[in-house]
Chain A
Amino acid sequence: MTRSREWLYAWLLLLPAAVLLVLFTHYPAVANLWHSFYSTPKGSRPPAFVGLDNYRALADDPIFWQALSNNFWYALGTIPVSIALALLMAVWVNERLPGRGFLRLAYFTPTVLPMIAVANIWLFFYTPGYGLLEQASGVFGFGSHNWLGSKSTALAALMLVTIWKEAGFFMIFYLAALQSMSPHLAEAGAIEGASRGYFFRRITFPLLMPTTLFVLVNAVINAFRLVDHIVVMTRGGPDNATKLLLYYVFEIGFRYWDSSYAAALTMVLLALLASVAIVQFVFLERRTHYQ
């Protein structure tokens, strides 16, 4: 095949995927930026160029700042805990403890279920005066508490659901990494007299670093991408206490139908995701230099 024919062939192979990618990823990202500079058309009034007005409104919007800070705390509260739990689960499943088949099943099952179904189950769990959590706290003599209905606990209650759902998923990647590790390392460590804790800290954990990085990036993306449980459990309330960025986009865009303001909000979300990408790129670059 001549070179130009090969080029043509390659581009024809790419074409179907490229068309859809451009139409539903690249175009919307650019169009989103464009639309964020216009006003939302209302009735007979066509969209007008408003410059940075939507962004100025954003800067003056206390709910936006709250959603941003909620999202920050949500990420900070869920990511380290689910990663630590995932690592612990993987170590336990990897050791031949009795019933490891059951354990792996128990840890991993939440991952396969839809977030929406899971949220329904947990909603029942948290129901004041009725749910299981209430019953349990009643046994210990604590008073009734509306976990999802009070500002101080609602976000934490949602974080628990997220951790429960994600830890088992991340466990899988740690498990794979642990199983691909050479047993000779442990033997050498033992001969050198390293304790188990020392060996884990100085050998196992550093060797798991690429996995941790991969899991971390996924966890960060999920913290900004997944809001299904909020739709079911709190709808952003009480008093905006559980409003995350994407949920706010959803609310502005599809409850108040203010598409321009939603576009400006989406830009913030895209900027955050892009910075994650850049950080990941920098770290991955460095990692390849190591090897």
Chain B
Amino acid sequence: MAAATGVYAPQGLARALETLGAWVLGVLWLLPLAYAFWTAFHPSAYSTNFTLAAPLTLENFVKAWHAAPFARYFLNTVILVTMVLVAQMVLVTLAAYAFARFEFPGRNIAFGLVLVQLMIMPDVLIVENYRTMTALGIKDTILSIGLPYMASAFGIFLLRQTFKTVPRELDEAARIEGCSPLQTLWKVYVPLARPTYLAYALVSVSYHWNNFLWPLIITNSVESRPVTVGLQVFSSTDQGIDWSIISAATLLTTGPLLVAFLLFQRQFVQSFMRAGLR
């Protein structure tokens, strides 16, 4: 990557101008976030008054934390994200293995039917899925938020591609050693696909941490709401317009993800790349 731009890297004035442009855009891009930070960490009197003399405070966070059951919302989100991820890992691994290494009648049709979900996602099937959840009697549970996403076409596709790159010889060697197909999957395929699993996990966790519309529809109580819905309920009802507290709550709900992103920036970026480049 060292010489990636090589001969066409801008020189002199062009380089200075491009650097300026890149930085202006970068600062503009961070501005809304920086603004939220400013508002959240200062008393509300200073929320639009930018002076260095403004005292820093954590009071907004304390108020926000006590104004709504955020602890419970966080717990719900953590349960949701973990549950979806574990279920996806198992389901997707098994299905991808079948598509990658088994010959069976109807394989192409079945795979085509899986890919349908890439276009017609649970996100748009809200009316019917709500009906189904009602019929199953599991409306307003954390399970009902996660269930439609567990068999992920995207995951099956991604992992199938990875499994296909595993050399057949390894597979056959394992079989000769007496491994059953499931043991082969566990001992040969899964370890070799570790980077794909990591990538998929990061994408899945951030997707479900951030998901909003479906959880908003299907949940109706503190016991099942994830943080995104909790934040919306909080900021749209009894807060009046105390932006300091709303900003604090907003940062609070995104905090864990933001910290994780800052710590693992490289992995995040690479994961999203890997997930996109099929």
Contact = CB atoms under 8 A, between A and B. Distances in A.
Contact of A246 (B4, B7, B124): B124
Interface in A229-260: 231-232, 246, 249-250, 253-254, 259
Given A6-B103, A105-B265, A112-B206, A98 B151 contact: no
Interface string A93-124: 11111110011111111111111111011101
Given A20-B147, A178-B4, 18 more contacts: A6-B104, A17-B156, A21-B117, A89-B25, A92-B21, A98-B19, A124-B35, A132-B35, A175-B273, A179-B4, A181-B4, A183-B4, A224-B124, A250-B213, A254-B126, A254-B130, A269-B124, A273-B120
B228 A114 contact: yes
Interface string B194-232: 000000000000100110110011000000000010011
A121 B33 contact: yes
A151 to B, nearest CB: 22
A164 interface: yes
B186 to A, nearest CB: 13
Interface stretch (A25-33, A54-62, A72-80, A141-149): A25-33
Contacts of B272: 111, 169, 172
A282 B260 CA distance: 39
Q: Which of A108, A124, A228, A274 is packed against the most chain B CB atoms within 10 Å?
A: A124
Interface string B98-129: 11001111010010011011111111111111
Nearest to B257: A112
B33 A254 contact: no
A273 B269 CA distance: 28
Contacts of B269: 104, 108, 172
A106 B26 CA distance: 5
Contacts of B27: 106
Contacts of B103: 3, 6, 10
Interface residues of B, number: 97
Contact of B119 (A23, A112, A131, A276): A276
A14 B95 contact: yes
Contacts of A130: 48, 243
A65 interface: no
Contacts, number: 290
B124 A225 contact: yes
A277 to B, nearest CB: 4
Interface in A155-214: 164, 168-169, 172-173, 175-179, 181, 183, 186-187, 189-190, 196, 199-200, 214
Interface of B: 1, 3-10, 15, 18-19, 21-23, 25-27, 29-33, 35-36, 39, 48, 90-92, 94-95, 97-99, 102-105, 107, 110, 113-114, 116-132, 147-148, 150-151, 153, 156, 181, 206, 209-210, 212-213, 216-217, 228, 231-232, 235-236, 241, 243, 246-247, 250, 253-254, 257-258, 261-262, 265, 268-269, 272-273, 276-277
A190 B3 CA distance: 14
Chain B interface, >50% SS class = helix
Contacts of B236: 232
B18 A13 contact: no
B273 A17 contact: no
Contacts of A23: 132
B127 A25 contact: no
Nearest to B181: A9
Contacts of B131: 31, 35, 259
Given A31-B131, A187-B6, A114 B254 contact: yes
B258 A113 contact: yes
Contacts of B129: 24, 28
20 contacts: A25-B122, A25-B153, A27-B132, A29-B128, A35-B128, A92-B21, A95-B10, A112-B258, A112-B268, A113-B210, A114-B212, A116-B212, A120-B250, A186-B5, A186-B7, A199-B8, A225-B124, A231-B212, A249-B127, A277-B119
B137 to A, nearest CB: 15
Contacts of A107: 25-26, 29
A199 B5 CA distance: 12
Contact of A117 (B102, B107, B254, B273): B254
A121 B124 CA distance: 25
